[in-house]
Amino acid sequence: MDKKIYIFGHKNPDTDSICSSLVSEILYKKSGISNVEARRLGNVNKETQYILDYLKIQAPELLENVEEGQEVFLVDHNEFNQSVEGIEKAKILRVTDHHRIANFETSEPLYYNAKPYGCTATILFEEFKNNGIEIEKKEAILMASSIISDTLLLKSPTTTEFDKKVLEELGRIADLDIEKYGLEMLKAGTDLDDFSEEELISLDAKALEKNGSKFVIAQVNTVSIEDVMKRGESLKTAIKSKINNDGLALFVLAITDILNSNSQIIAIGERVDAVENGFGIELENDTAFLEGVVSRKKQLLPQIDKNI
Ligand code: MG
Ligand code: MG
Ligand code: MG
């Protein structure tokens, strides 16, 4: 049997990480690479589960770590601290990603397709087109779902004109009412009731590092900031214990209102000054309201990163 090549997105996988892994498997199999297999690095969130149920397909298998020399394709991330255990020893053959490049190194040449689009799936769409590979309904829905998720239905400032065009075309291919499907899908991800505070702060958390300072920016989507803030004090307690356990200089939780495109943040740690200076605000009771802020990649991370 052929040796397998695993394709996976980041830890605490979001919709783009899961769907772009599944789409990549389809794309590269159609291109003649038969031994590729999608994997996931953690639990599937409720938004992604909505998509899998809609398509009646299974999530990729869980991958806990990789052995030395394991061949892998990375999607939707490149930073090693967001990747699988053992990634330093793996053989990274390909990266398809729309994030900054940091904490990444390989010893051998590779394919690296980085585009500043709103979503990894938009890059994959372009690969289908460039290679003359047919897009069928299943992969069209997976890619459309990724774009809807990452761009919050094209409302995030990460959205490019190309994302808009691609989503429209995918809607046509899949014969899908994007607005209706998209809102249902996003709402499915805002049902946070069954999660403990510890789970809530790690559902969509990104571990980052700069000048030896470890920090985390986590995000949850909601249709009511007020509802989530009812658990504010317990969320703060969970964040404080995470900071202590992991030796973090800063933990920021963004509670993002997907209907009105704003975020309430809770920021704790010895480097909260990076948040206050980055946004020109003063935290009150560890929190602040950030008008018009919805994107970790384009708004939260750059402001915090340059002040830390
Ligand atoms: Mg992602
Ligand atoms: Mg993404
Ligand atoms: Mg995201």
The domain that holds 14 is classified in CATH as 3.90.1640.10
Q: What is the mean pLDDT of each run of 10 residues along the chain (308 residues)?
A: 86 97 98 97 96 98 97 98 96 97 95 98 98 98 98 95 98 97 95 93 93 95 95 98 98 96 97 97 98 96 94
Å from CA of 266 to ligand 2 middle: 23
Residues 222 and 137 in one domain: no
- Is residue 64 domain-resident? yes
Q: How far apart are CA 257 and CA 225, in angstroms?
A: 6
pLDDT recorded at residue 153: 95
Residues 22 and 61 in one domain: yes
Rounded to 5 degrees, φ, ψ at 197 are -60, -40
Domain range spanning residue 116? 5-187
pLDDT recorded at residue 1: 39
CB atoms within 10 A of CB 221: 24
- Is residue 22 domain-resident? yes
CB 175 within 8 A of CB 135: no
Å from CA of 179 to ligand 2 middle: 20
Residues 203 and 63 in one domain: no
pLDDT recorded at residue 193: 87
Give the global pTM: 0.91
Å from CA of 143 to ligand 2 middle: 11
- Is residue 116 domain-resident? yes
Residues 54 and 140 in one domain: yes
Beta-carbon neighbours within 5 Å of ion ligand 2: 16, 76, 120, 150
Asked which of 148, 163, 187 is the last residue of a domain, the reply is: 187
Residues 102 and 206 in one domain: no
Asked which of 152, 169, 187 is the last residue of a domain, the reply is: 187
- Ligand (nearest to CA of 219): 3
- Is residue 47 domain-resident? yes
pLDDT recorded at residue 178: 98
Q: How far apart are CA 211 and CA 225, in angstroms?
A: 33
- Is residue 101 domain-resident? yes
- Ligand (nearest to CA of 218): 3
Residues 216 and 148 in one domain: no
Å from CA of 97 to ligand 1 middle: 9
Chain Cα centroid distance, residue 44: 12
Number of domains in the chain: 2
Residues 56 and 78 in one domain: yes
Residues 144 and 213 in one domain: no
Residues 219 and 165 in one domain: no
Asked which of 167, 187, 207 is the last residue of a domain, the reply is: 187
Residues 251 and 170 in one domain: no
- Is residue 221 domain-resident? yes
pLDDT recorded at residue 139: 98
CB 187 within 8 A of CB 223: yes
Q: How far apart are CA 43 and CA 17, in angstroms?
A: 11
Sign of CA pseudo-dihedral 242, 243, 247, 248 = positive
- The domain spanning residue 282 has which CATH number? 3.10.310.20
CA distances from 82 to 10, 50, 56, 204, 205 (A): 5, 24, 28, 11, 9
Sign of CA pseudo-dihedral 268, 274, 279, 284 = positive
pLDDT recorded at residue 211: 87
CB 134 within 8 A of CB 127: no
Q: How many residues are present in the chain?
A: 308
DSSP states along 12-78: S--HHHHHHHHHHHHHHHHTT-TTEEEEESSPPPHHHHHHHHHHT-PPPEE--B--TT-EEEEES--
